[in-house]
A and B are shown apart, each in its own frame.
Chain A
Amino acid sequence: MKETAVEESMLNGIWPVLIVMGVAFAMVVIVYGVDSVLPGAHDTFHDFRHVIGIPCH
């Protein structure tokens, strides 16, 4: 019972961190248009990148 509570507690701490880190990685891919990670990321978010003031070509 106690072990289950500890595992649940750890999961509740780890999951949000993993999700936020995963989305933060997606943000970096979008912001810098990393086509090698997500083909088309550069063209798809080209306008977004310029409008929010991130250097682009």
Chain B
Amino acid sequence: MRLKPLDWKRGIGLGIFTGVIWGWIVVGINTLSGAFPFENGLLYSLITFSIGGAVFGIVIGGFMVVMEGRLPFKWPFPNAVFLSTSLWVVLSLTGLMLSFVKPGRYHHVTAQTIQGLGLAVILGALLGLMWNRSVGRRGIRP
């Protein structure tokens, strides 16, 4: 596999940008839905959700570049949604298994799980739209 430095740097950069924006959207959506009452202030939440969003964005953007040609769809948009949703499902299922192993430490909340799945789709959709806009429908390489 040979990646141009510009390719993966651009993919990770797009992931950071999209992830931070997504983090702010997540704060807004949860404020409206009330699925989890925030325990910290707005500024604190904006900072931590930006960091968390950027980390998710880098991972998905990175996978978009590293797995190019091995993803199930031809276009970046469905691939980004697929990756984001799959990643969330894996993390959520692992969390569910942990809740069986350590029920006092981890427990499942249905409203938050449904919201999380929707947010994962939104992250993938945002990254897919940014990807299309930045590098074109065919993928990251010209």
B interface, by DSSP: helix, strand, loop or mixed? helix
> Considering only CB atoms and an 8 Å cut-off, how many residues of chain B contact the other chain?
51
How far, in whole Å, are A20 and B57 apart by their CA atoms in the complex? 10
> Considering only CB atoms and an 8 Å cut-off, how many residues of chain A contact the other chain?
29
B70 CB-CB contact with A under 8 Å:
no
Q: Are A16 and B2 in contact (CB under 8 A)?
A: no
Could you say which of A26, A27, A50 contacts B36, with CB atoms under 8 Å apart?
A: A50
* Neighbouring A residues of B132 by C-beta, 8 Å: none
Q: Are A55 and B116 in contact (CB under 8 A)?
A: no
Known contacts A23-B58, A54-B91, A57-B104, A30 near B3 by CB under 8 Å: no
Q: Are A55 and B39 in contact (CB under 8 A)?
A: no
Known contacts A53-B116, A55-B106, A17 near B55 by CB under 8 Å: no
Chain A residues within CB distance 8 Å of chain B = 9, 12-13, 15-17, 19-20, 23-24, 26-28, 30-32, 44-48, 50-57
Chain B residues within CB distance 8 Å of chain A = 1-5, 8, 11-12, 26-27, 30, 35-36, 38-40, 45, 48-49, 51-52, 55-56, 58-59, 62-63, 65-66, 88, 91-92, 94-96, 98-99, 104-109, 112-117, 119-120
